[in-house]
Structure 1
Amino acid sequence: MSTQVGTVEEVVLLSAGGEAVGRVPKAGVHHGATPLHLAFSCHVVDTDGRVLVTRRAASKVAWPLIWTNAVCGHPAPGESLEDAVRRRALDELGLVVPGVRLVLPRFAYAAVSAGVLEHELCPVVVAVVPRGSSLTPAPAEVADHRWLAWAELSASIDADPAAWSPWMRLQLGLLEGPPTHWPTAVDDTLPHALRPIG
């Protein structure tokens, strides 16, 4: 459960070692000199092995209308990684995520879109949901979504890399095969700012 107070969504600022060093409102953290902060990426797969991908809303300041993994977000101060994933999956997709599996505990990246620097320490997880799971994407977050077989997804990215988010391309470059085959990582390698999963 999120520990945010009131309606101001906050982001956790990090040291280079992954320790929490402050918090700022999410609305003001992303700009041309964005500080390192805590985030996550979740890849959602259904029980038939299809991967859920989403297209970012046109109203997004950075990477509008770019295809990416199912859901990304920022854990609130004191919020666990699993709780943050569940919260954002429900907020962005109307999707109930039963649980998550950690695959890249210390993934980090920096990238620029339209003058906005994204600078995140961004653990990566996988969630498996039943085939036919109900989705009600929030228009302010998601312009479109698709369920793709792994071969379709790989071919789409190879054919047009620029249509896909830089973080997703980097993550898939570190992992082999479909998400159901990615090795599980251990919680004690997560950034210090996060509680262990479970």
Structure 2
Amino acid sequence: MSHSADLDRRVLAGVERLGRALRAARQDVATRHEVSLLGLSVIETLADGRPRRVGDLAAELDVSQPTVSDAVTVLDKRGLIRRDRDPADLRSTLVALTDDGDRLAADAAAELAPLLAAGSGTDADRATTLRVLLGEIARLQAAGVITVNRSCLSCRHYQPPGPRTRARCLLLATALADRDLRVDCPEHEPIPA
């Protein structure tokens, strides 16, 4: 095995281990709050305050629409989400958190905060890691492995750094350091195919 292939294998193993730890921690939080792991994901996604259609939630969470619809129905019965008519299309509904849903989202975020605080290295190290991870996400999206990517690196407004210039967000007209890159940008517009 080449040195490069061995390094790739170890990076993948490390990412998998982090993923398993995060999933286990999120499952513990979901169980304590008596919601499914998918229900917790729906709540975390809606915690940004942007109501969404069920189909949009399904795409963001990379699961089928009927599966998300079932989870939304359970959360609705528990009073954690509400459904409102979409003013842009009165045939559709938008899903948003209720006050109880907001509280659950805040509690879950607080319970998961120790995972974030456990970050090692300097701020610059973590910022570089973020940039590299977003690059890998963009690569996996281009390969069809990831279906939804709302990060800076996949946005038509992102201008990569040049030899003498920093990366920029053309929409916000601002320079972007690695630490400023977004994983899920509300202003994201995909790069045209």
As a proportion of its length, which structure holds more helix? Answer: 2
TM range (shorter): under 0.3
Find the structure with the greater CA-based Rg: 2
Q: Which fold has the larger relative contact order, with Cα–Cα distance below 8 Å and residues 6 or more apart in sequence?
A: 1
As a proportion of its length, which structure holds more strand? Answer: 1
User: TM-score by structure 2 length?
Assistant: 0.23
